[in-house]
Copies of this chain bind each other. A is one copy, B any other.
Amino acid sequence: MELVRATNRSVRLRNRSALLSRIFLDGPLTRQDLVRGTGLSQPAVSNVVGDLIDEGLVMEAGAAESDGGRPSMMLRVAPRHAVVIGVDVGETRVRVELFDLTMTVLGSVEYPLEHNGTEPATVAGHVLAGIDRVLADSGIARSEVLGVGIGVSGVVEQGAHAIVDAQTLGWHRVPLQQLVAEGTDLPLHLDNGAKTLGQAEMWFGAGRGARHAVFALVGSGVGAAVVTNGVTYRGASSSAGEWGHTTLVYGGRPCRCGARGCLEAYVGAEAVIDRYREARRGRPVPGEDEESQLGALVAAAEKSETARRVLDETADYLGAGVANLINLFNPERVVLGGWAAMALGGLLPAIRVAAGRQALRAPYAQTTIELGRLGVDAVALGAATLPIARLLATGGIRR
């Protein structure tokens, strides 16, 4: 179904891309490793690698162990060939991080968001200020920045300028990319936060090695990223993966999206706290913000029957939601991430059991359900991979 023409030059591009990707994702590697890994001939690998070294994208880094014979040189991506910036526009804060090409953090800065002071222009301002800040702090020139990736907790519609719908921020069709672009000419990449988290876990965390994986992001709201055949699936207008608003309890609790019985209305942090409050006959849950309230609930479960019941039910609902993902996507792995999922980590065994009850046996047996390995900062890390993904796809030929 691929109706894209191939030409002789595209051969080189593909091979460059394949080799560079491998060096980046699995490196350091020797030329021989690349020969074995890609099936290309030795001269072809040397030829392409030579170009990459000449262009400063790749560097030799010492010789490999050898037991007789000429030792092969290790190849790695040149860490400072460029830097990338990852931004996490979350429900409560904007976080900007600067990475080199080995994804080492070179600097970061965070701006809290008022609970309702979430004007798009304010957020764009934070992003721009953050970029200036991390560059200034680390003394790196703008020209060295490959690009800026921005993960937003909302639906991001890709296009010439990405448009953002974010219920929790009260945003409707906000041209965030344009707002940021007006303040900088660095290449921008916007994406949904769940998708960037998925990308991060896919490259560096619990998703490594999987071709088909689902990343469930549980925070105040609920989202998911689906990786099919190694690629994040976006759908027709890049809103695929809106797991939080799938119906789980037909006719059930009202959801902030306007429908009823959405998964988010049961397992989102806000909903869990709400359900706990109801179970306490309306007595408020102690804690300043959702994070501490959820913590209070988890702590209370040690002693309180009520709290435990709420958590058990949460695991059941979450398990059923995960089962739906398993039935529909048949992934090799389901990875739970987001701060609420991390806080509820103790429920993992119960979630597994609940999912097993609701999923079909065969696909359930072929998947694992685990927690994310990258913690809460995965969104910014994943956002930073967006410009890199482009670099790898084009074989390192910028723009």
Contact = CB atoms under 8 A, between A and B. Distances in A.
16 contacts: A1-B229, A3-B22, A3-B38, A5-B15, A5-B39, A157-B362, A228-B235, A236-B366, A237-B330, A239-B330, A243-B328, A246-B323, A247-B321, A247-B358, A248-B248, A250-B317
A118 interface: no
Contact of A245 (B14, B241, B249, B360): B360
Contact of A247 (B230, B235, B242, B324): B324
Give the copy number: 2
A180 to B, nearest CB: 21
B5 A243 contact: no
A7 B41 CA distance: 10
B6 A243 contact: no
Given A247-B324, A248-B247, A324-B247, A1 B231 contact: yes
Given A6-B11, A7-B11, 7 more contacts: A2-B230, A3-B37, A6-B15, A155-B362, A240-B363, A242-B360, A249-B251
A95 interface: no
Looking at A7, A10, A243, A328, the one whose CB has the most chain B CB atoms below 10 A away is A328
Nearest to A4: B18
Contacts of A155: 360, 362
A140 B246 CA distance: 51
A129 interface: no
A246 B328 CA distance: 8
Contacts of A39: 5
Interface string A121-132: 000000000000
Contacts of A260: 358
Interface in A1-57: 1-8, 10-11, 14-15, 17-18, 21-22, 37-40
Interface in A286-305: none
Given A3-B22, A11-B11, A249-B250, A235 B330 contact: yes
Contacts of A246: 323-324, 327-328
A159 to B, nearest CB: 12
Interface in A216-248: 224, 226, 228-231, 233-243, 245-248
A183 to B, nearest CB: 27
A393 to B, nearest CB: 9
A387 to B, nearest CB: 16
A366 B237 contact: yes
Nearest to A365: B237
A328 B216 CA distance: 12
